């Protein structure tokens, strides 16, 4: 059966060895794999607009246009960008709809600046993992100021309203992130986990 689906927006999470196959985080369908036929090279992290031609359970990406490329994030911290995309690729199950995760990546593309500190990048990773549902139970999560980090809208969080200034909270967040990623079922396939150990 063949179905042509309406225009979609997605973010390229990975390019497979097969040159035309990519992994996407589609805003409507969630994490999908598809075959793309484009006249130009599509980079990892690109935001695309496209239609999907579904045939026998396989998605073919047609009428594909690149609508955004995260140049600022890539210029100032390509390792951070790839860490975010890698977490999404390995953590969001196929055909699992994760609009909050998609919107977080779009927020990152629009609001990242060279002034983001390592702590702010770790807070973003923390919120991303919480949005995906990767929880490692840790006493740190039950602290009141950390609960605020979990529930505050992302635009307020990065709007200068809240800061982690307590060094023990920063250390605990780092420990939580490390444990969460070490316990991840695909931890042995992460290539960018060393990002967390940058200062």
Given 25, 49, 68, which residue is the final one in a domain?
Answer: 68
User: Domain of 10?
Assistant: 2-68
Is there a single domain that holds both residue 104 and residue 177?
yes
Question: Is 4 or 23 the better-scoring residue by pLDDT?
Answer: 23
Question: Is 61 or 153 the better-scoring residue by pLDDT?
Answer: 61
Residue 140 has pLDDT above 80, yes or no: no
Residue 164 has pLDDT above 80, yes or no: no
Helix axes 99-111, 118-132, angle to 10 degrees: 160
Given 19, 42, 68, which residue is the final one in a domain?
Answer: 68
Is there a single domain that holds both residue 129 and residue 170?
yes
- pLDDT bracket for residue 45 (50, 70, 90): very high
Is there a single domain that holds both residue 84 and residue 162?
yes
Could you tell me what percent of the chain has a pLDDT over 70?
Answer: 86
Is there a single domain that holds both residue 59 and residue 116?
no
Write the CB contacts of 4 (distance below 8 Å, at least 6 apart in sequence).
51, 52, 53, 54, 62
| Cα(40)–Cα(25) distance, integer angstroms | 20
- pLDDT bracket for residue 194 (50, 70, 90): confident
pLDDT at residue number 163 = 59
| Cα(31)–Cα(140) distance, integer angstroms | 30
| Cα(102)–Cα(99) distance, integer angstroms | 5
pLDDT at residue number 166 = 60
């Amino acid at each position: 059966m063949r179905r042509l689906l309406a225009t979609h927006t997605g973010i390229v999470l990975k390019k497979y060895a097969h040159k035309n196959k990519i992994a996407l985080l589609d805003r409507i369908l969630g994490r999908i794999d598809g075959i793309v036929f484009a006249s130009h090279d599509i980079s990892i992290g690109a935001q695309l607009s496209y239609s999907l031609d579904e045939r026998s359970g396989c998605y073919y990406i047609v009428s594909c246009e690149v609508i955004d490329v995260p140049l600022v994030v890539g210029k100032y911290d390509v390792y951070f960008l790839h860490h975010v995309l890698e977490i999404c690729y390995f953590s969001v199950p196929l055909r699992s709809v994760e609009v909050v995760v998609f919107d977080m990546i779009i927020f990152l593309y629009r609001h990242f600046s060279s002034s983001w500190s390592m702590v702010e990048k770790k807070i973003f990773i923390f919120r991303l993992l919480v949005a995906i549902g990767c929880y490692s139970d840790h006493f740190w999560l039950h602290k009141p100021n950390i609960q605020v980090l979990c529930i505050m809208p992302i635009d307020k969080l990065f709007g200068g309203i809240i800061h982690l200034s307590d060094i023990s909270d920063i250390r605990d967040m780092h420990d939580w992130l490390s444990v969460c990623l070490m316990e991840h079922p695909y931890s042995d396939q992460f290539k960018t986990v060393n990002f967390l150990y940058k200062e």
